[in-house]
Chains A and B, each alone.
Chain A
Amino acid sequence: MTGFDTFAAALTPLNLLFALFGVVAGTVIGAIPGLTATMAVAVLVPLTFTMEPASALILMGAIYTGAIYGGAYSAILLNTPGTPSAIATTFDGYPMARRGDGDLAITLACLASVFGGLIGAAFLLLLAPPLSSIALAFGPVEYFWLAIFGLSLIAALSEGNVFKGLAGGALGLLISTVGVAEISADVRLTFGSQILLGGIQAVAALIGLYCIPVLIDLVATPERHLRVEQPKGFRLAEAIGVSLRGWLNLIRSSVIGTIVGILPGAGGSVAGLVAYSEARRSDRGGVEFGKGAPGGILASEAANNATVGGGFIPTLVLGIPGTPPDAVILGALLVQGIRTGPTLFESGGAIVYTFIWGLLLATLLMLPTGLLIGRYAYKSIVAVPKPLLVAGVAFMTIVGTYAIRNSTSDVLVMVVLGAIGWVVSRFGFAVSPIVLGIILGPIAEQGFVQAWTIGTAMQNIPAMFFGRPISIGIITFTLFSLLWPLARTAIARRRGAADLPVIAGAPAVRGPVDWATVAVSAVLSLVGAVTLFDTAHYSDADSKVFPQTVAIGLIVFAGLCLLRALLGMRNRDTPPSGSMSRRTALVVAVLAAALLLPLVGFVAASLLLVAVLIPIGMHERWTARTGVIYALSGVVIVLAVTWLFGTLLHVPLPVGRLF
């Protein structure tokens, strides 16, 4: 069954065509922030009703793996993960692109994605039934500790001040609790607002926090978005060299990605973060992680594509979707009358193995297509004049955010969070800890509440939290990750080497009182206090415990930041200079578009936005020629994207009074 016949079945021209089409379409969709792999697969479902089951699976698997890879483009070129799986790719990808190595970063992402995808699919092919037990071995408490392990990365991402990072992380955790509680019976932190009822959508928050600050600083100066010396092509040989030197990192990250993919409660974002954390911990020098280390991209991208094969393991073996796109694929199979589960590997084995071979082929096809599309994406971002880049990207953030769950409220939340993100990051509160809090908050809270309930029923809460072998393993890794950098510095110091910075970023300098940090810290403490006040009204103890604990943490960490700032300890980079009026104008324009969207309709609001943003982003003298070209390009971008979303992807775009 595993042999030649199923391999040959996967090789039919039609299946190859599906694999090729899927990978290309997936890559493009994944590159657009807001369009996730889940959505890409969901759009395809009706098409698959009339297909052979194996072909349908190959098409969906190809688009899925393509989308996970495509997320890397925007992560590297715009600092905005195209899908949540690419969060960790931004950490080093964007710094690399800024210094002129965007082409290398994209080629590395492609190589790592293909490698990770192949490893994940190989595990699916060879070891699916035994590995599926991992999905069942992880209980609530393991998920809780896994989230804590992910949060320990905050220490590394804090850019100089751990307290600021922890305060940001706590803020993110609180943001994740907003809205109707998932597993308890309260509405939290909405203050009666309809907009917040459905919670702050994690992908919307990602787009806001990562992309809006980039846009704000983009309009401020006439400098180019990315530095480019002369075009160097794919830089494939260089990338292969880097990848070969990072072979251990690639293998480790792919294995991590496969395992995390098997876990139904985690997913590509967690896989990327865990692999990144491990790569960073075991790094032996070279460019610092977070400052444009190629190893960071290798880790994140190998891991997130490995989750594709990993996620299919519990999906096909147990009928439990490993990741959200798998849930959609499972639904499509049900419609076709195929039941997954242990019998599928025996009775329906031919379909399964044909699919797995197809997935392997699709992953291989990603190598040439990924390199070509990546090259094109890079060239476009570099070549597009700033006014059009600003207008186009801002427009995409709006339409992408809207498309996540067809909600204009999400667009508003995205813009506001983006503006907040820009302000706080200017004062040394990096946005990545906030994002980590938002992504990992629900995993931590649900795991905690469930583990506590089960522990209480067992009358042994300590054993529940600290007595299970996998938990002990994760706790050990967490401690190791946190303490290793300190230990390494101590060892280096004893050997008389120069001080290695424990944490990347600007060192603390004594100076006058840092009033800006004082203000931000005071506001964050206030957020904590308001949360405590809000929790007093909750009817269910399960909805209280997590926000209360986190709010107290936020007050403590923000208080420490405030104290340090009052003492004049200043540790933040000098904020980028440039025109404040342009920055403000951009925020006002995007906010206005978000508010106008439901009133005047999608196309009208978008055209207005583009018309306003082009002059805001324009730093050169206008000529008749640029005027006409930019205006026409703006209209074309809006209409083309509207067609893509409205007609091709069936997104019900808002219609208002105008059009």
Chain B
Amino acid sequence: MIYCVMKRAAAGALLAAGLATGAFAFPDKPVDYVIPFGPGGESDISARLQQPFFKEKFGQDLVVSYKEGGGGAVGWSQLNGLSGDGHTIMGVNLPHIVLQPAEKDVGYKTDDLVTIYWFHFTPDAIVVRADSEFKTLDDFLKYAKDNPGGLTIGGTGKGSANHLAQVKFDELAGIKTAYVPFKGTGAVTTATLGGQIMAQWGYTTVGAAQGDQVRLLAVATEERHPLFPDVPTFKELGYDLIGGAWRGIAVPSSVPEEQRKQWSNMIAEINADPDFRKKMEEGGFAMADVPYEEEKAWLAKQKEAYIQAAKDAGILK
């Protein structure tokens, strides 16, 4: 399903991008790109990778700033109060913006956010250290079945994409693992490399960043990831698990319709750049294109699916 959307959207985006260039003198000053996390995380790195391409294509600086706190909630709860002249955008993440307001009062609702474009996702994956006794997913499952509750698996936070994947997979496979929450993917990866935990619910990006220090047991995509042709998908092993974390941009609600479309086109143009795609894919990201016109219906579907999954998992009541 995901790849389907991506192909269709990519074609539309390319067309739209062609129309957008040169039509208006926008942006006409540097753009403030707010990342609702701290510097150095995956959202920051994604933005940094977009930065030079934006400058090259649209002639203005994309200035990254940070509004860290509450796992992104601080930034998102303040988004609609920011300047609506079209020169302020903010990174958004899924499932964060769905699960956070569903779980607790975090100062914003999913539907308050004017999301514009979803440009990539990082597929869930089980990561182990290179010298781990788990060579395959079967080894992992065997250990988990022999030692109920004894297999420690790390992930970022609770009620997060990683946590959701853990609960869902445990249910699908009929196992019980011990979920150890960490602050940020970097901290979990360190614990994985140090053997503090037996495995990690991470993303393909972890595999890309750590190279042969780690091994992926399975990836939660429809088809195998181009960077890891030897790693099976959960699906082909018989587990209906597809998911990950999505990234996109949003603007304050006061930004007019016209500029929202322009932003969608600009991001599409960057995403369509072959050099950019190559860099992103080398980093383990899976490219996607959900432009403004299709985004609303798409997000509604995602929201429903995430909420259902979180309810099934018992993360949401």
A residues lining the B interface (CB < 8 Å):
38-39, 41-42, 45-46, 49, 135-140, 179-187, 192, 194, 197-199, 201, 264-265, 314, 318-321, 324, 326-328, 330-332, 334-335, 337, 339, 341-343, 405-407, 442, 446, 449-450, 453-454, 456-459, 540, 542, 650-652, 655
Q: Give residues 195-212 of B contacting A (CB, 8 Å).
A: 195-197, 209-211
If the complex has contacts A140-B191, A650-B65, are A542 and B181 also in contact, measured as CB distance less than 8 A?
A: yes
Closest to B154 in A: A450
Which of the 9-residue segments B48-56, B116-124, B262-270 touches chain A? B48-56
Identify the 7 closest CB pairs spanning chains A and B, nearest first: A327-B40, A198-B69, A136-B194, A198-B74, A180-B70, A457-B178, A139-B196
Q: How many A-B residue pairs have CB under 8 A?
A: 193
Bound form: Cα–Cα A457–B197 in Å: 10
Which of the 9-residue segments B20-28, B144-152, B238-246 touches chain A? B144-152
Q: Give residues 142-188 of B contacting A (CB, 8 Å).
A: 149-152, 156-159, 178-183, 186-187
Interface pair A341/B211, CB less than 8 Å apart: yes
Closest to B194 in A: A136
- Please, which residues of chain A bring their CB within 8 A of the CB of B63? 46, 650
- Please, which residues of chain B bring their CB within 8 A of the CB of A185? 103-104, 157-159, 315
- Please, which residues of chain A bring their CB within 8 A of the CB of B69? 179-180, 197-199, 201, 405, 407
Closest to B41 in A: A327
- Please, which residues of chain A bring their CB within 8 A of the CB of B52? 46, 49, 335
- Complex partner residue of B107 from A197, A264, A332, CB under 8 angstroms: A197
If the complex has contacts A137-B194, A180-B106, A183-B182, are A197 and B73 also in contact, measured as CB distance less than 8 A?
A: yes
- Please, which residues of chain B bring their CB within 8 A of the CB of A650? 30, 32, 63, 65
- Complex partner residue of A135 from B34, B39, B45, B190, CB under 8 angstroms: B190
**CB of B12 closer than 8 Å to a CB of A:** no
- Taking the nearest CB of chain A, how far is it from the CB of B22, in angstroms? 25
Interface pair B194/A453, CB less than 8 Å apart: no
Interface pair A45/B48, CB less than 8 Å apart: yes
Interface pair B40/A321, CB less than 8 Å apart: yes
**CB of B71 closer than 8 Å to a CB of A:** yes
Bound form: Cα–Cα A540–B316 in Å: 12
Bound form: Cα–Cα A542–B182 in Å: 12
Bound form: Cα–Cα A651–B211 in Å: 36
**CB of B105 closer than 8 Å to a CB of A:** yes
Interface pair A405/B41, CB less than 8 Å apart: no
Name 22 A/B residue pairs within 8 A (Cβ), A-sorted. A46-B51, A46-B64, A180-B73, A180-B100, A183-B182, A184-B157, A184-B181, A185-B157, A186-B104, A187-B106, A197-B74, A265-B190, A319-B211, A327-B38, A327-B40, A330-B40, A334-B45, A334-B48, A334-B49, A453-B181, A457-B150, A652-B65
- Please, which residues of chain A bring their CB within 8 A of the CB of B157? 182-185
- Please, which residues of chain B bring their CB within 8 A of the CB of A46? 51-52, 61, 63-64
**CB of B66 closer than 8 Å to a CB of A:** yes
Closest to A50 in B: B52
**CB of B295 closer than 8 Å to a CB of A:** no
- Please, which residues of chain A bring their CB within 8 A of the CB of B197? 454
Interface pair B39/A38, CB less than 8 Å apart: yes
Closest to B63 in A: A650
**CB of B44 closer than 8 Å to a CB of A:** yes
Bound form: Cα–Cα A38–B34 in Å: 16
- Please, which residues of chain B bring their CB within 8 A of the CB of A320? 186, 189-190, 193
- Please, which residues of chain A bring their CB within 8 A of the CB of B236? none
Bound form: Cα–Cα A331–B50 in Å: 12
4 additional contacts (CB under 8 A) given A198-B74, A330-B40, A450-B181: A182-B157, A318-B193, A319-B213, A334-B48
Interface pair B210/A341, CB less than 8 Å apart: yes
**CB of B77 closer than 8 Å to a CB of A:** yes
- Please, which residues of chain A bring their CB within 8 A of the CB of B195? 136
**CB of B8 closer than 8 Å to a CB of A:** no
Closest to B62 in A: A46
Interface pair A264/B179, CB less than 8 Å apart: no
Interface pair B149/A457, CB less than 8 Å apart: yes
Interface pair B67/A459, CB less than 8 Å apart: no
Interface pair A341/B65, CB less than 8 Å apart: no
- Please, which residues of chain B bring their CB within 8 A of the CB of A187? 70, 104-106
Q: Give residues 47-105 of B contacting A (CB, 8 Å).
A: 48-49, 51-52, 61, 63-71, 73-74, 77-78, 83, 88, 100, 103-105
- Taking the nearest CB of chain B, how far is it from the CB of A60, in angstroms? 12
- Please, which residues of chain A bring their CB within 8 A of the CB of B83? 655
Interface pair B213/A318, CB less than 8 Å apart: yes
Bound form: Cα–Cα A442–B181 in Å: 13
Bound form: Cα–Cα A342–B211 in Å: 9
- Complex partner residue of A136 from B107, B152, B193, CB under 8 angstroms: B193
Interface pair B186/A42, CB less than 8 Å apart: no
Bound form: Cα–Cα A446–B180 in Å: 10
Bound form: Cα–Cα A425–B96 in Å: 41
Bound form: Cα–Cα A182–B194 in Å: 21
Interface pair A139/B77, CB less than 8 Å apart: no
- Taking the nearest CB of chain A, how far is it from the CB of B206, in angstroms? 10
Bound form: Cα–Cα A180–B104 in Å: 10
Interface pair A264/B40, CB less than 8 Å apart: no
Interface pair A446/B183, CB less than 8 Å apart: yes
If the complex has contacts A187-B106, A201-B69, A655-B83, are A42 and B64 also in contact, measured as CB distance less than 8 A?
A: yes
- Taking the nearest CB of chain A, how far is it from the CB of B74, in angstroms? 3
- Taking the nearest CB of chain A, how far is it from the CB of B243, in angstroms? 19
- Please, which residues of chain A bring their CB within 8 A of the CB of B71? 180, 182
Interface pair A405/B67, CB less than 8 Å apart: yes
Interface pair A407/B67, CB less than 8 Å apart: yes
If the complex has contacts A341-B213, A453-B178, A454-B197, are A183 and B158 also in contact, measured as CB distance less than 8 A?
A: yes
Interface pair B48/A652, CB less than 8 Å apart: no
- Please, which residues of chain B bring their CB within 8 A of the CB of A192? 105
**CB of B279 closer than 8 Å to a CB of A:** yes
Interface pair A198/B211, CB less than 8 Å apart: no
Bound form: Cα–Cα A198–B196 in Å: 29
Interface pair B279/A337, CB less than 8 Å apart: yes
- Please, which residues of chain B bring their CB within 8 A of the CB of A331? 39-40, 44-45, 48
Bound form: Cα–Cα A651–B34 in Å: 11
- Taking the nearest CB of chain B, how far is it from the CB of A278, in angstroms? 25
Interface pair B150/A459, CB less than 8 Å apart: yes
Closest to B157 in A: A183
Interface pair B67/A264, CB less than 8 Å apart: no
Closest to A141 in B: B196
- Taking the nearest CB of chain B, how far is it from the CB of A137, in angstroms? 7
Bound form: Cα–Cα A108–B42 in Å: 39
- Please, which residues of chain B bring their CB within 8 A of the CB of A442? 183
Closest to A327 in B: B40
Closest to A335 in B: B48
Bound form: Cα–Cα A342–B61 in Å: 34
If the complex has contacts A198-B69, A331-B44, A450-B180, are A324 and B194 also in contact, measured as CB distance less than 8 A?
A: no
Closest to A39 in B: B39
Interface pair A450/B39, CB less than 8 Å apart: no
Interface pair A405/B211, CB less than 8 Å apart: no
Interface pair A406/B67, CB less than 8 Å apart: yes
- Taking the nearest CB of chain A, how far is it from the CB of B103, in angstroms? 6
Bound form: Cα–Cα A598–B68 in Å: 18
- Complex partner residue of A332 from B48, B159, B315, CB under 8 angstroms: B48
Closest to B149 in A: A457
Interface pair A49/B39, CB less than 8 Å apart: no
- Taking the nearest CB of chain B, how far is it from the CB of A353, in angstroms? 21
- Please, which residues of chain B bring their CB within 8 A of the CB of A318? 193, 213
- Please, which residues of chain A bring their CB within 8 A of the CB of B190? 135-136, 264-265, 314, 320
- Please, which residues of chain B bring their CB within 8 A of the CB of A655? 83
Bound form: Cα–Cα A182–B188 in Å: 13
- Complex partner residue of B38 from A136, A319, A324, A339, CB under 8 angstroms: A324
Closest to B182 in A: A183
Interface pair B39/A324, CB less than 8 Å apart: yes
- Taking the nearest CB of chain A, how far is it from the CB of B191, in angstroms? 7
- Please, which residues of chain B bring their CB within 8 A of the CB of A407? 67, 69, 74, 78
Bound form: Cα–Cα A136–B210 in Å: 14
Bound form: Cα–Cα A197–B40 in Å: 22
Bound form: Cα–Cα A334–B191 in Å: 22
